[in-house]
Structure 1
Amino acid sequence: MTRSVQALACLRPSPPEPTGSGGLRGSTMENGTGKSMATGTAGEAATDENDGAVSHTADDAPAGAGGGTGGGRGRAGVEELLAAVREGRAEAVPGLLEPLDAAARKVALTRLKALRAEVRAGKWAPPPPLPNLVRGALYAAGAGCLPTAAAAASWLGARELPIREEDGALVLRALGDRDPEWAADLAGRLAGRRAVAENSYTLLHGLVARSGYTVAPTDGYVTAWTRHVTDDRLVERLREDPQTPVLVAHALAMAEPPEPPSRALGRRPRRYWPTALLTLVEEGVLDRARVLDVCVSRLLRGGPARSLRLPLEVVRLLEPEAEELRERIPDWVGIASDAPSLVAGYAQDVLAELASAGALPAGALAEMTAGVLFRTEKKLVRAQLALVGRVLAEEPGAAGELLPAVTEAFGSEDTGVQERALKLVGRHLPSVDAEVRRELAEAAGLLSPMHRQAAEELFGADLGLGTALPYEEILPPLPEAQRLAPPATTVEELVAQLVVKRLSEEPAAFERALDGLVRHAHRDRAAVVEAVREAFPRSHREQGAHSPTREAQGIHVVLAGLLGLLDPAPVDFRRDRDRGPGPGSCLHEALSGVLDARLREAAGLVGTDALPFLLATPTWSTGAIDPRVLVERLREYRDSGAEPAPADLAQALVRVLRADPSAGRAAEEAAALGTPAGRRLAAWLREETSVGATVRFLPRDEDGTSERWWPIDRIVVDLGEHRTVRAEFPPAFQWLGGAPEAASRRCRHRVEGRAQWAPVLPADRELLAACLLPTLAHCVEEDSRGAAEPLTALVEADGPVGRAVLLALAFGLGCVDADDRLRAVDGVLVLAARGELNARRLGTELAWLVAEGSVKPNRLADAARTAAATGAYRTVWTVLEAMLPEVLAPAQPVRGLGEVLAVAADCVERCGARGEVAGLETLASGRGSSQLVVQAGRLLGALRQGVDQPLPETVRIGI
């Protein structure tokens, strides 16, 4: 007998009832000692992992099936089987399979594959509730007709036949004639497919029980097993299952433990896995040492805190003894250094207990100290310094080994932590030799300037800080816009671009692919249609054909138009929507509506002489168009006799760089074309009035209610009136010419397509920023993410930097999500490097946003600290200097302002600024040792002791 078994699911004969050895019951994880089956044997039937297609000979008969053809009875049996499947009579399938011989099953398999292809392609859909019954019948019938375990596994794991738990018993009956080794082989293969294993425990368990073999644990199988055994009899069910030791070990070691064992203790304590496992350990069913090893190893591997909840709780309940803890000291050190805060805190407590008992070697404590002091959690850091202090008080001789690790805290962002570490080093400095003393003095260079005097008094001549170099502001290199690559030169290259996943999230690639599709369809529509039909499944081709919603938009709309699948009803619906935003609508809908209008227009014209190529395809990565290039495109249109499509031309005009040095010459060339489109471009390039917007905020108490509190409810964007836009542009663009009414543009729902917003207005940065403000304001209020994605393109766009841009950056600096804040930091630094940042105006906008609670100080402090750490200390200080007077003015300062003051003090100490900040001296003279008072005193001292430095030319202090 030759069968292959996946390496992940090697099989072993079931062991006799355990008696204290095997798995977690003894010192080994193995469950049984029988020999494994061979893997990867030659001669096995070739299978298609997607559809279960098999290639076999007549000798590949299913075990137990006869070898004859069956004659007329066989043919009749096949017809009866197919009829039962089509009618959804799943329960009849096993009985109808039983009399069929190998030849009849082979014939039936061919028919079943054809039926499955119909179901997959949507050519045949039975009325409800038959679909699930038909799929279940098809699922079982196909498995029963396939000769090899590999082919059956492919059939049972097919995506279009999603396995259901209730179908497991049916398949077991259909496979009732297979020998044990075949059943075990199939179980191993299915267990290796997580999506299948998680939903087919009945089938897998039945195959294992029937075969007498056990399946090596996999994530999917263990997940299904935990669901199956989790009920009010959890302890009893675990105790009765001979595979419990192996499966529990796997569950504890999984990167993402199954949901039932990870649940917190709730209303049903009998289903709580940690206490159940503790009971089994106490009974000897599970080996205590092995459970500890698995849990500690899992904690050491790290990961999200939720994934470590189960092993941590098991360890806590086991209450390891001192010897068990000592055996795993290296593991605990690694956990304390790298694990999530909650887990690291437990490891720190464990090691502190060992240290108190004198059982923690100084080398291990030093390694632990260096790791913990590198962390940012103040509680862990301070506890570690206290632990080292206690140990040194009892063992002064360990100072030479421990103090160098303490200096890791010299580079902490918290100056209070720096001070504690410096005092600890100072207390035990006499106990170290000259070499260690020099090492400590060298590390003191990491200390904040506020501790420099104390360090000099402590180390004296050994400090060797030397003469401080003049401060130099470090800003990022200027980003350079990249020219967009030319469109695909062949249909094959075009198709490769079109099939890229998430194409719409890369605007440059999207525009290039869209233009390539239009160009090639114009040259040879038949070739493109054929290539698209081969490359895209039918469901994808039809995605943009019937639905008018945003989820169905994108390049699929144009593909549907190319293939003649576009439904006219959604087109009419979209035309109504393309009239621009009305009262109560969002500005982001207007931005998205521009792209929708272009796509619908292209879908109607693609592959015809009316659309040889797109005028609006950007020439630069920012989405902008070079004026001379647009003139040349209009010349090609004139020479070919084609008239520009309205939405395509409008987008091209909005994208053209009117401030480019070549715009004047381009206007003359455009006028000389003698076409209406040429004259429109010439007039547009000469237009002095730009498309623009102003931003204002309604007062909080304007309507006499308390509802208008957050900026998102008070933002009003006034679009400047532009008669040319309103008179000559298509409806989807006319909102850019100024709406008759000024209304706030609220946006409180999920927003898609952000990546495509910036390329709509690449030549008017201020207007684009105004459109982004509502979604950015939303991101400082609630736990939403991704709204700051367009900020990168915004700062690289063309046009002036006014209040809207600065407000967009201010909101970005206060976003909930750290990645969004990082994008805003990048935006601030890029504008500073380009000499376009009005730092004081940015600080002024931040001041009122912080004062009213819209931007949280801790988030702003994190963003400012990140920006300063790049070397832009003077830039950050200029922003904060303008912000602080207003937020320090109230009698009760904003909560969390101490963190902002700490960043400000660090910037002043490093860049050498000096001066006065209104309200700072009063705050610094207050009583107490709070972060706010301490950092206010630190900033005040730095401003009065610093050396004045000129502001870099790249940053303007104010208007």
Structure 2
Amino acid sequence: MSALVEAVRAGRSAEVVSLLDGMTDAERRAEFPQLRALRKELRADPWTAEARRAYPALHAAGTACQTGAAGVAAWIAASDMRWWSASPGVLIDLLGDRSPAWLADVAHRLAARPASSRVPYELMAGLVRLSGCPVPTTEAYVHGWVEHIGHVWQRGDTILERLRTDPHLTPLVAALFETADVGGRLAWASSEGEDGWNGALARLTVEGALDRRATVDACVARLLRGGPASDHRMFLRVLQAFELTRDEERERVADWLALASDGPSPVAAHAQSVLAALALDGELPARRLAEMSGAVLFRTEKKIVRAQLILLGKVLARDASTADELLPAVAQAFGHEDSEAQERALKLVERHHRALGTDAVRDELRSAAEQLIPALRKRAADALGGDLDAPDAHAYEEVLPPAPQPVRLAPAPASVTELAEEIGALLAADADVATFERALDGLVRETHRDREGLLEALAPVLARRWWYGADARSHPVETSFTHPHGLAMPSQALELLLATLAGAVPTASLHHALVHGTVSARCVHAPLARAFETRVWELAHRVRTEPLPFLLSTPTWSTGLLEPDDLVTRLDAYRGLGARVSETDFALALLRVRRGDRARAAAAAERAAALGTAEGKRLADWLASAPPTPTCRRRTEEDRVLVDADGIPELGDGLPDAFGSLGEPVGGAPARWACPHWHEGIRPHWLALLPEARELVAARMLGDIASTAVHDSRGEAAILPLIAESGGEAGEAVRLGVAHGLGARHPEDRLAAVDAMLVLASRGQLDTAGLGTDLGELARRGAVKPSRLVESLRTAVSTGAYGTVWETLRHTLPVLLANVATGAAAAPARGLADLLAVAAECAERTGARGEVPHLADLADRRGSSRLTGQARRLRTALTPGAAA
């Protein structure tokens, strides 16, 4: 071992630098193979005290002992030495005697690395300074520069002072506006006035250190390009700090129009204010104002739409000759989802329609007025002439999106190569029920047919598993599958089977897990987890001791449903092969087999009985009975409404204990933190255990789904569309799951609930009265916020489900209106006016009639609040001729 390597291993950095300074280039290159070998040795366990001590010296020595710029850059930025690297000053000192061109090459290679490589900015900047090369403008370099400039507390100066003395100010500021995701870094180090980035950049354009026109153009272009919200906020603040003159604003009218049309809300509002000032000063032609309005009035933000209509009203009041150009733009708001925007636009038309110069424009306005809500349509007809009566309500026909159809499972992979590829993909990311079950069946089949050939095909997959190899034997592999989170994901179930196939799990451990079980949790999910995991453990045991020819329980359909004729055919094949049936595999097949189609079940029962086997007789008896439906009772837990479900003794009759527990009553559950079943990927597989008993599965998952509304959790409602597509009764549990999901905190959960609602409606399985009543109770308890419910129902309405939404809301609104009418609520629930607006739109579209309790009390109130206005609108829609 050389003196250099010995010093590196001991972590004596100062000695390493001294030794390197006395070496020639040839001597340094001769040391590099030993340094590379040491790096490989340390990389095997980089967290030891020896490794942490050696890494900084190794980082410095390896950098100095290479002559290629690419190799040096790769060594410096290596991820294995990132946590214990040499200081930038040491590296610059070691590289300082190289040629400027070589140093420039290294600097630009390091700057080209992703920002996540965390190459120190001080190192890159030092190499740029030594080489005299043009400054890099990559993402990594700009991010580092921003952080360096922003750390003013280190030197006691300001951002403005640092920027003034930066020799590369112009190219780096230009790059700043081109770099993605830099807004958050700027905001972190920014402050008000000239001490912040926005004030400093503005001041530098005034002083002439930065070209003002180019900098302003770059900032506007950055806003036009879009990006994350943090970038929008920061660069808008920079733009406002420039305090543009009227001439500068006038030069960029096209940019303001684009930002007002398509920019994020804060940016659009700023652009709108600039254009409004130009318009009110007569510096924006009516044609341009109409162009702007045509885009802005399609935006959903009510404040922006209201501001635009106010601006149009002011311009029309000043110059009536602009009516022919501006009133058609005003009419764009006739189709806005906000009825108040429609009414405000109509008032402008009523006020200025006499100034119209041509009948063609009047006809255009009359045509646009057909989009108005019925309560406003008559007023438009009075102002514009012609017949604008509401369309025939009896002509309405609900057209719901078609419900997804279950997909028939394809046969198991035809070759071990294809199977190995699918298993590799499944281990990387959990898949749906169909993909998982198909791969599972293929694994069982190929193990029975050609175990050695399967192992050979799986070799690349196995080589990447942590438990594969001699070094894993110091840690019992089976313990990784028996702890509370052992088979929490489908991929882990496959992992257990692969580990068993490769001989990494002892047979005794498989037998112990099968006999004693591995699910110790006593949460509400435990029966579902126990059934899923017991099946996998028995399959693993049979893989080791007596491989199955194929699985009986592989579903026919993607929902988990198994056709009875398919199961009879498989049992017949087992009889012909003389194979012993797996107890849990057969039990799951019974739970999955279709019994709801009584005629098909009866025909299959005759075939099963004719097999003459115990399993055939058991299947025949099973098919003779209809699938059970649990009896559910509502209960409250904090502000949630959950269900208790009676037990189903049939599920425990003649089935293994792990499957019989599925029929246990559903009741109270321990605290959420005590449940280990948090992974969302396993839930579709639980649902596929009982594809004709979704109500029972939904009862066990309801607490999780409710948390998306009550505790603002994320992702638990993703199972709702699959529940809606499954079979069996859709009762209290399913309905309450959808109700909580419609009020979830996160948009993706609300969207899943809307999907479930529409699927149930398309299948004729949605109890709208029950769902509406549930929503009213949940909203009264505070579990579901009306403002969130509005977003969900608007999404449903956008698909055309006006009738479904109305039939739901007519049972929800009385509860919320009662609180307002009786004074039970200190103030109307936030979002109630919007909920009434959705209900009114649905009633207008469908021609619904009747009364909603307490609606008249609210509609008869004095005043012109939005809540009262929407109540009057709904009453008018439900009772034609009522005073608006």
**Aligned-pair CA distance for 1:722:** 1.4
**Aligned-pair CA distance for 1:420:** 0.7
Counterpart for residue 927 of structure 1: 862
Written as runs of structure 1 = structure 2, the 5 A alignment for 1:78-117 is 79-96=2-19, 108-117=31-40
Q: How many residues align?
A: 850
Q: Indicate yes or no: 2:341 matched with 1:341.
A: no
User: Could you say if the C-alpha distance between residues 730 and 91 of structure 1 is closer, same or farther in structure 2, counting changes exceeding 3 Å?
Assistant: farther
Q: Name the aligned partner's letter for residue 359 of structure 1.
A: E
User: Could you say if the C-alpha distance between residues 667 and 153 of structure 1 is closer, same or farther in structure 2, counting changes exceeding 3 Å?
Assistant: farther
Q: Name the aligned partner's letter for residue 848 of structure 2.
A: A
Counterpart for residue 630 of structure 1: 567
User: Could you say if the C-alpha distance between residues 284 and 470 of structure 1 is closer, same or farther in structure 2, counting changes exceeding 3 Å?
Assistant: same
Q: Structure 2 residue aligned with 1:738, among 664, 686, 693?
A: 664
TM-score with structure 2 setting the length = 0.88
Q: Indicate yes or no: 2:432 matched with 1:482.
A: no
Native 8 Å contact 2:160 2:196 kept in 1? no
User: Could you say if the C-alpha distance between residues 574 and 164 of structure 1 is closer, same or farther in structure 2, counting changes exceeding 3 Å?
Assistant: farther
SS state at 2:645 partner: strand
Q: Structure 1 residue aligned with 2:647, among 700, 720, 741?
A: 720
Q: Name the aligned partner's letter for residue 444 of structure 2.
A: V
Native 8 Å contact 1:578 1:594 kept in 2? no
- Find the aligned partners of 2:403 and 2:454 in 1 and give their Cα distance: 41
Q: Indicate yes or no: 2:684 matched with 1:780.
A: no
SS state at 2:644 partner: strand
- Find the aligned partners of 1:546 and 1:139 in 2 and give their Cα distance: 38
Counterpart for residue 748 of structure 2: 819
Q: Name the aligned partner's letter for residue 626 of structure 1.
A: E
Native 8 Å contact 1:251 1:258 kept in 2? no
Identity %: 43
| Structure 1 gap ranges (5+) | 1-75, 699-707, 948-959
Q: How big is each residue's C-alpha offset from its partner over 1:875-919, in whole Å with a ceiling of 9 and x where there is no partner?
A: 221111222333322313651322121111111111112112222
Q: Name the aligned partner's letter for residue 300 of structure 1.
A: L
- Higher alpha-carbon deviation: 220-229 or 555-564: 555-564
Q: How big is each residue's C-alpha offset from its partner over 1:111-149, in whole Å with a ceiling of 9 and x where there is no partner?
A: 5555545555x3xx2663333344444444444444432
- Find the aligned partners of 1:614 and 1:925 in 2 and give their Cα distance: 68
Native 8 Å contact 1:631 1:678 kept in 2? yes
Q: Structure 2 residue aligned with 1:645, among 582, 586, 593?
A: 582
Q: Structure 2 residue aligned with 1:508, among 434, 442, 463?
A: 434
Q: Name the aligned partner's letter for residue 813 of structure 2.
A: L
Written as runs of structure 1 = structure 2, the 5 A alignment for 1:192-203 is 192-195=112-115, 198-203=118-123
Counterpart for residue 875 of structure 1: 804
Q: Indicate yes or no: 2:672 matched with 1:747.
A: yes
| Structure 2 gap ranges (5+) | none
- Find the aligned partners of 1:520 and 1:481 in 2 and give their Cα distance: 27
Q: Structure 2 residue aligned with 1:525, among 451, 474, 484?
A: 451
**Aligned-pair CA distance for 1:776:** 1.3
Q: Name the aligned partner's letter for residue 567 of structure 2.
A: L
- Find the aligned partners of 1:576 and 1:871 in 2 and give their Cα distance: 53
- Higher alpha-carbon deviation: 132-141 or 771-780: 132-141
Q: Structure 1 residue aligned with 2:208, among 270, 284, 295?
A: 284
**Aligned-pair CA distance for 1:867:** 1.6
User: Could you say if the C-alpha distance between residues 604 and 220 of structure 1 is closer, same or farther in structure 2, counting changes exceeding 3 Å?
Assistant: farther
Native 8 Å contact 2:514 2:538 kept in 1? no
SS state at 2:632 partner: strand
Counterpart for residue 939 of structure 1: 874
- Find the aligned partners of 1:537 and 1:283 in 2 and give their Cα distance: 63
**Aligned-pair CA distance for 1:392:** 1.4
**Aligned-pair CA distance for 1:710:** 1.2
Counterpart for residue 662 of structure 1: 600
User: C-alpha root-mean-square deviation of aligned residues, in Å?
Assistant: 3.2
Written as runs of structure 1 = structure 2, the 5 A alignment for 1:385-396 is 385-396=309-320
User: Could you say if the C-alpha distance between residues 251 and 646 of structure 1 is closer, same or farther in structure 2, counting changes exceeding 3 Å?
Assistant: farther
Native 8 Å contact 1:305 1:343 kept in 2? no
Counterpart for residue 696 of structure 1: 634
Q: Name the aligned partner's letter for residue 879 of structure 2.
A: R
Q: Indicate yes or no: 2:502 matched with 1:563.
A: yes
SS state at 1:530 partner: helix
Q: How big is each residue's C-alpha offset from its partner over 1:391-438, in whole Å with a ceiling of 9 and x where there is no partner?
A: 111122222222222222111111111011111122222333222222
**Aligned-pair CA distance for 1:457:** 1.2
- Higher alpha-carbon deviation: 346-355 or 569-578: 569-578
- Find the aligned partners of 2:307 and 2:651 in 1 and give their Cα distance: 68
Q: Name the aligned partner's letter for residue 867 of structure 1.
A: A
Q: Name the aligned partner's letter for residue 595 of structure 1.
A: F
**Aligned-pair CA distance for 1:830:** 1.8
- Find the aligned partners of 1:113 and 1:642 in 2 and give their Cα distance: 57
Q: Indicate yes or no: 2:148 matched with 1:228.
A: yes
**Aligned-pair CA distance for 1:809:** 1.4
Counterpart for residue 731 of structure 2: 802
Counterpart for residue 497 of structure 1: 422
- Higher alpha-carbon deviation: 159-168 or 199-208: 159-168
**Aligned-pair CA distance for 1:746:** 4.9
User: Could you say if the C-alpha distance between residues 475 and 682 of structure 1 is closer, same or farther in structure 2, counting changes exceeding 3 Å?
Assistant: same
**Aligned-pair CA distance for 1:492:** 2.0
Counterpart for residue 345 of structure 2: 421
- Find the aligned partners of 2:772 and 2:817 in 1 and give their Cα distance: 13
Native 8 Å contact 1:846 1:883 kept in 2? yes
Q: Indicate yes or no: 2:153 matched with 1:153.
A: no
Q: Name the aligned partner's letter for residue 548 of structure 2.
A: L
**Aligned-pair CA distance for 1:693:** 5.3
**Aligned-pair CA distance for 1:620:** 0.7
Q: How big is each residue's C-alpha offset from its partner over 1:175-218, in whole Å with a ceiling of 9 and x where there is no partner?
A: 44532212211221221111455332232122212211133311
Q: Name the aligned partner's letter for residue 189 of structure 1.
A: R
User: Could you say if the C-alpha distance between residues 83 and 687 of structure 1 is closer, same or farther in structure 2, counting changes exceeding 3 Å?
Assistant: farther
Q: How big is each residue's C-alpha offset from its partner over 1:66-92, in whole Å with a ceiling of 9 and x where there is no partner?
A: xxxxxxxxxx6xx44444444444555
- Higher alpha-carbon deviation: 474-483 or 589-598: 589-598
User: Could you say if the C-alpha distance between residues 790 and 372 of structure 1 is closer, same or farther in structure 2, counting changes exceeding 3 Å?
Assistant: same
- Find the aligned partners of 1:563 and 1:598 in 2 and give their Cα distance: 19
Native 8 Å contact 2:592 2:689 kept in 1? yes
SS state at 2:448 partner: helix
Native 8 Å contact 1:691 1:720 kept in 2? no
User: Could you say if the C-alpha distance between residues 346 and 107 of structure 1 is closer, same or farther in structure 2, counting changes exceeding 3 Å?
Assistant: same
User: Could you say if the C-alpha distance between residues 91 and 658 of structure 1 is closer, same or farther in structure 2, counting changes exceeding 3 Å?
Assistant: farther
- Higher alpha-carbon deviation: 558-567 or 423-432: 558-567
User: Could you say if the C-alpha distance between residues 325 and 84 of structure 1 is closer, same or farther in structure 2, counting changes exceeding 3 Å?
Assistant: same
Counterpart for residue 534 of structure 1: 460
User: Could you say if the C-alpha distance between residues 383 and 625 of structure 1 is closer, same or farther in structure 2, counting changes exceeding 3 Å?
Assistant: same
Q: Structure 1 residue aligned with 2:256, among 332, 338, 361?
A: 332
- Higher alpha-carbon deviation: 347-356 or 789-798: 347-356
Counterpart for residue 612 of structure 1: 549
- Find the aligned partners of 1:133 and 1:400 in 2 and give their Cα distance: 80
- Find the aligned partners of 2:693 and 2:551 in 1 and give their Cα distance: 21
- Find the aligned partners of 2:546 and 2:512 in 1 and give their Cα distance: 23
- Higher alpha-carbon deviation: 468-477 or 622-631: 468-477
**Aligned-pair CA distance for 1:260:** 3.3
Counterpart for residue 54 of structure 1: none
Q: Indicate yes or no: 2:168 matched with 1:243.
A: yes
**Aligned-pair CA distance for 1:340:** 2.1
User: Could you say if the C-alpha distance between residues 763 and 252 of structure 1 is closer, same or farther in structure 2, counting changes exceeding 3 Å?
Assistant: same
Counterpart for residue 130 of structure 1: 50
User: Could you say if the C-alpha distance between residues 871 and 763 of structure 1 is closer, same or farther in structure 2, counting changes exceeding 3 Å?
Assistant: same
Native 8 Å contact 1:717 1:744 kept in 2? no
User: Could you say if the C-alpha distance between residues 861 and 671 of structure 1 is closer, same or farther in structure 2, counting changes exceeding 3 Å?
Assistant: same
TM-score with structure 1 setting the length = 0.82
Q: Name the aligned partner's letter for residue 272 of structure 1.
A: G
Q: Structure 1 residue aligned with 2:379, among 432, 454, 461?
A: 454
